Amino acid sequence: MKSRKEQVAVPNVLKAFEAELVEAQREYVSIEAEPLDCKRTDDPLKLTQSKFLGLPFFPSGGVLQLFFPADEWWDMGSEKVIYHSEEDLKKTPIFDFSFIDAGLYDELPVSSIHKLSFKKAIDTGCSEDSQFSIMFGTKDYWDFEDDLNEEEQKEFDEYFSSTGHKIGGYGDFTQSDPRDYRPNQKNDIQLLQIDVDDYIMFGDSSVGHLFIRLGDLEARKFENAWFYWDCC
């Protein structure tokens, strides 16, 4: 059980299920992405770069980077995930990327360089995440919500929101959670979620996700992470 200061308050409409809901809450890192007015050739086709801020099972330091190919990025399996340890970050970096054609960025789902800010937060659950399976008495998520009045539904929906860019936590999906129909990956955890934003969009308002086995995460085998996105 998490300490009280690490919990998200459960609204009155859900008080009868408070113990289960608090137990289901997960720590994650919220990412704020601020578009910057700078040249896109500053980094080589890098889609995102993330820090972990002490999440359980995640590295205590280092940086995770996600790269996509310049063409056919939508072909899932073509991404490259690279983890740089604290020791790696002490090496002399490359600063000159003039060899990269700025036009290579034109088709990528992120159309602007962003400044990323990271802060720890608590995720409360999402109906679309296959690893969130709370029952409300004899009712599932949807049946329980259907019986609420307008004000109660507002409280309910505000509590169960898993949108936004994040590391860890529950996933928010445009259609469905792919782990539902991939038996060998049903226990994989969400490593990264990239949501729709002003200058970020996968296809038609879709959300991008990286998943990884817990054992691979603990062993820092980020090359085994897999990317998924779907479309409206």
pLDDT along the chain (232 residues), means of 10: 67 96 94 71 48 74 82 75 87 81 76 83 94 94 96 96 93 92 94 88 83 94 90 68
User: The tokens 């004000």 sit on which residue?
Assistant: 151
CA distance 28 to 118: 10
Three-class secondary structure of residue 77 per DSSP? coil
Strands (DSSP E) along the chain, which ranges?
26-35, 46-50, 63-67, 80-84, 114-123, 165-168, 189-194, 208-212, 226-229
CA distance 129 to 174: 11
Three-class secondary structure of residue 122 per DSSP? strand
Q: What structural domains and CATH numbers belong to the chain?
A: 4-229 (2.30.320.10)
Query: Facing residues of 118 across strands?
Result: 31
- Element containing residue 27 per DSSP (H, E): strand 26-35
Question: Of the candidates 172, 185, 187, which has an alpha carbon nearest to the alpha carbon of residue 129?
Answer: 172
pTM attached to this predicted model:
0.84
